Copies of this chain bind each other. A is one copy, B any other.
Amino acid sequence: MIVETLTSPVILFFVLGFIAALIKSDLSIPEAFAKAMSIYLMAAIGLKGGIEVADSGFTPDLAAAAIAGLVLSFALPFLAFALLKSFGRLGQVDAGAVAAHYGSVSVVTFVTAKEILTASGLEPQGYMVAVLALMETPAIISGLLLARWGMTQTDRNGDGGGGLWHEVLANASVVLLVGSFIIGMIAGKEGFEAVRPLFDTGFRGVLCLFLLDMGLIAARRLTQSRKLTVRLAILAVALPIINGTIGTVTGSLIGLDVASAAALGVLTASASYIAVPAAMRLALPEADPGIYLSMSLGISFPFNIIFGISIFAALARALG
């Protein structure tokens, strides 16, 4: 399946962007266009998920997957934190911030996985979109707990109480994913017909252009970073493998189908690079963005896109 992955236009555009940035080409995607594409992708994936759930109804599977997602997002930062402090040699605050990223999820990784899995006959259930939305935020809580553990109130200059919680719960991607999911559930298959041409048929093409941009960004992060040690680079590969394995196994154990178990694996393996960095900038200003963005965007994202998806698909197949 890795060969299929590597000849899929979606991944090839990512590789093109990566190479373009490595040879320092001035190729760049306008910021507004990249944001527009991410809004489009989230609306599209939310809609499709909602429609599928409207079709299949609420099932025990759905509930099991949702609970598993919540628990994993909350719990995995603790393991990551321990590794980041010991093997990675990070301080408490930086370790907490990075751990939050690995507990949370990357929407684009999920979307790419959905495309690649579906293309190889493994279509995850629609409700995995809801699981995606649920997994965005719990990790932020555990990350902050870990970073602030044992600190007195006066040290916690950043927290900003309500401001942060509001930022986390009303953040753009959660609102858009959940909102489109609900719209999909209300509109159903019929209502969707009218908007299908834009949201369905254009989807993979937009994903190509978006991954072109992600390739540029990932490579620039990697080459411009001055904070990435060899140990951290190793963890940026190890954490996705560990978390993804835990996620896939959990998915199998709770009885998800092979495709959805693989998708849960990809979700746990993926690391946030939008919602969590913004929250950390507010709540843990002393944590160094150079570390968490380089690890998550520069290494884990490419790793997951190119290898992770195939690995967890194979694992889910073996287990299921």
**Contact residues of A with B, CB < 8 Å?**
7-10, 12-13, 16, 19-20, 23-33, 35-36, 39-40, 43, 47, 119, 166-167, 170-172, 175-176, 179-180, 182-183, 186-187, 191-192, 194-199, 201-202, 204-206, 208-209, 212
Tell whether, in the assembled complex, residue A13 and residue B208 are in contact, meaning their CB atoms are under 8 Å apart: no
- Report chain B residues within 8 Å CB of A204: 194-195, 197-198
Question: How many monomers of this chain does the complex have?
Answer: 3
- Other A-B pairs beyond A27-B175, A33-B36, A197-B205, 5, CB < 8 Å: A9-B195, A24-B166, A25-B170, A198-B204, A198-B208
CA distance A212 to B47 in the complex (A): 14
Q: Which 9 A-B pairs have the closest CB atoms?
A: A198-B205, A197-B201, A30-B32, A33-B36, A32-B32, A25-B170, A27-B172, A16-B179, A12-B183
> What's the least CB distance linking A112 to chain B, in Å?
13
> What's the least CB distance linking A262 to chain B, in Å?
19
Tell whether, in the assembled complex, residue B35 and residue A183 are in contact, meaning their CB atoms are under 8 Å apart: no
> What's the least CB distance linking A129 to chain B, in Å?
15
CA distance A35 to B182 in the complex (A): 27
Residue of B nearest to A47 (CB): B9
Say whether, besides A27-B175, A36-B30, A39-B29, A198 and B187 are in contact (CB < 8 Å). no
Tell whether, in the assembled complex, residue A23 and residue B170 are in contact, meaning their CB atoms are under 8 Å apart: yes
Tell whether, in the assembled complex, residue B7 and residue A186 are in contact, meaning their CB atoms are under 8 Å apart: yes
- Report chain B residues within 8 Å CB of A192: 9
Tell whether, in the assembled complex, residue A205 and residue B199 are in contact, meaning their CB atoms are under 8 Å apart: yes
> What's the least CB distance linking A1 to chain B, in Å?
15
- Report chain B residues within 8 Å CB of A43: 13, 208-209, 212
> What's the least CB distance linking A29 to chain B, in Å?
7
Say whether, besides A26-B172, A30-B32, A167-B26, A179 and B7 are in contact (CB < 8 Å). no
CA distance A119 to B47 in the complex (A): 20
Say whether, besides A27-B175, A33-B35, A198 and B194 are in contact (CB < 8 Å). no
- Report chain B residues within 8 Å CB of A39: 29, 33, 209
- Report chain B residues within 8 Å CB of A35: 30, 33
CA distance A40 to B167 in the complex (A): 33
- Report chain B residues within 8 Å CB of A23: 170, 175
A26's partner among B7, B36, B171 (CB-CB below 8 A) is B171
CA distance A115 to B10 in the complex (A): 26
Residue of B nearest to A196 (CB): B205
- Report chain B residues within 8 Å CB of A171: 25-26
Residue of B nearest to A7 (CB): B186
Tell whether, in the assembled complex, residue A12 and residue B170 are in contact, meaning their CB atoms are under 8 Å apart: no
- Report chain B residues within 8 Å CB of A16: 175-176, 179-180, 182-183
Tell whether, in the assembled complex, residue B9 and residue A191 are in contact, meaning their CB atoms are under 8 Å apart: yes
